[in-house]
Chains A and B, each alone.
Chain A
Amino acid sequence: MNSANYLYLSALLFTIGAVGVVIRRNAIVVFMCVELMLNAANLSLVTFSRINGNLDGQIVAFFTMVVAACEVVVGLAIIVTIYRSRRSASVDDANLLKR
């Protein structure tokens, strides 16, 4: 019985999420990629909990979910605010500080 497969899957998903954050330009898609990375981390926490035979990993994954929910709420509010003033959801268009 080898739980390591889940860890490999988790590493893969995390990497894919990281690529997405770098290459996509739509702020909402970038945000979804961050969610994918958080989920990948959660999968490895749950797997570690199983490998070590105690529930602490699951507790940490639970807290991660709560933090992720907060992050989504505030992040999407920021995206909507930026969209309202700049009429665009692209991360390249929010460059006011550069000028």
Chain B
Amino acid sequence: MINYALDLGQTAKPEAVMFYILAPLAVISAIGMLTVKKAVHSAILLAWVMITLAIFYIAQDAAFLGIVQVVVYTGAVMMLFLFILMLVGVDSSESLTETIKGLRWIAITASLGFGGLIISLLGRATLGRQSIGLVDANSNGNVEGLAQLIFSDYVWPFEVVSALLITAALGAMVLAHHERTVKRATQREQSQARFRSGSLAAAAGLPGPGVFALHNAVDVPALLPDGTPAPTSISATLKARGDMLDSAQYQLDNNDNVAEDK
């Protein structure tokens, strides 16, 4: 058993050092991805895992795939994820409470079994076999070797994959497209609707933030003439994010009191 454990640790020197530094970091950030609450943090951690994998690819004589991993995954795919996170916006952080009771523990137990199974199988299947290495296969260069294969043995899958890419692009366009069901209101119609909506106060437009308060900023609600804050003067997004400041501390009479105390 001890020999078995020692055998696991044998990797060539510089590569081993790199592996034992980066692999735990990759695993930790992958676990962190599951446990952090905000989706943006998950995305950053996943980007780090992908960069680590790119380094591993390059270390394993797959230079082309390493570069493609950085360009396609950490570049394009993660950028797309962040894009969608920004679109989907404020409520993208989720509550981590479970809806199905006990699901989390069942999942963790099942995954421990699954992971243990794969790892023990791998240990039995590959240990004791020397890896051949890619020195021969890469003798003309990694990119040349791959190109030779793609355009000879794998030319048919390559064509099919190109058809798949086009289909995916079309599919995304069809899904993202949406037709206007009602005509866009003109400026004239908008102003008529404002005046006919009942309250004349709304017809004049919403108040700007910070007006009549001693602090003039977008996150401070305006004060109405009677001293109460006007919630309509703040952008709904700021309100939902909880970034709204309380305007009471900026009220005029409050400040006068402070001055008198001094």
Interface residue ranges, A against B (CB under 8 Å):
1-9, 11-20, 22-26, 28-29, 31-33, 35-36, 39, 42-43, 46-47, 49-56, 58-59, 61-63, 65-74, 76-81, 83-84, 88-90, 92
Determine the chain B residues whose CB is within 8 A of the CB of A1 once the complex forms.
10-12, 130-131, 133
Pairs of residues from A and B, 7 with the lowest C-beta to C-beta distance, nearest first: A53-B132, A70-B168, A15-B115, A77-B175, A51-B131, A22-B107, A11-B118
Of B23-31, B179-187, B219-227, B242-250, which stretch is located at the interface? B23-31
Asked whether, in the complex, the Cβ of A29 is within 8 Å of the Cβ of B42, the reply is yes
Kindly state the separation between the CA atoms of A16 and B133 in the bound complex, as whole angstroms: 28
A52 CB to nearest chain B CB (Å) = 6
Please tell me which one of the listed residues A15, A49, A62 contacts residue B118 in the complex, with CB atoms under 8 A apart.
Answer: A15
Contact with A along B117-135 (1 / 0, CB 8 A): 0110011001101111110
Interface membership of B8, Cβ < 8 A: yes
Q: Evaluate contact between B8 and A62: CB separation under 8 angstroms.
A: no
Other A-B pairs beyond A15-B115, A62-B150, A70-B165, 12, CB < 8 Å: A3-B60, A5-B8, A5-B9, A5-B19, A13-B26, A13-B27, A46-B60, A51-B129, A53-B136, A55-B137, A69-B72, A70-B164
B53 touches A42 (CB 8 A): yes
Minimum distance in angstroms from B60 CB to a CB of chain A: 5
In the complex, the answer to whether B88 meets A4 with C-beta atoms within 8 Å is no
For the side of the interface on B, what is the size category? 35 or more
Instruction: Report if A74-B76 is in contact (Cβ < 8 Å); known contacts: A9-B26, A62-B65, A83-B88.
Output: no
- B193 interface residue (CB < 8 Å to A): no
- Which residues of chain B come closer than 8 Å to A83, judged between CB atoms? 87-88
Cβ of B149 < 8 Å from any Cβ of A? yes
How far apart are A97's CB and chain B's nearest CB, in angstroms?
17
Q: How far is the CA of A43 from the CA of B30 in the complex (A)?
A: 15
B residues less than 8 Å from A12 (CB atoms): 27, 30, 115, 119
Q: Within the assembled complex, what's the spacing in Å between the Cα atoms of A63 and B129?
A: 27
A28, B150: Cα distance in complex, Å: 33
Contacts of A16 in B (CB 8 A): 27, 30-31, 33-34, 111
Residues of B at the A interface (CB closer than 8 Å) are 7-12, 19, 23, 26-27, 30-31, 33-34, 39, 42-43, 46, 49-50, 53, 56-57, 60-62, 64-65, 68-69, 72-73, 76-77, 80-81, 84-85, 87-88, 91-94, 98-99, 103-104, 107-108, 111, 114-115, 118-119, 122-123, 126-127, 129-134, 136-138, 142, 145-146, 149-150, 154, 157, 161, 164-165, 167-169, 171-172, 175-176, 178
Question: How long is the Cα–Cα vector from A71 to B130 in the complex, in angstroms?
Answer: 36
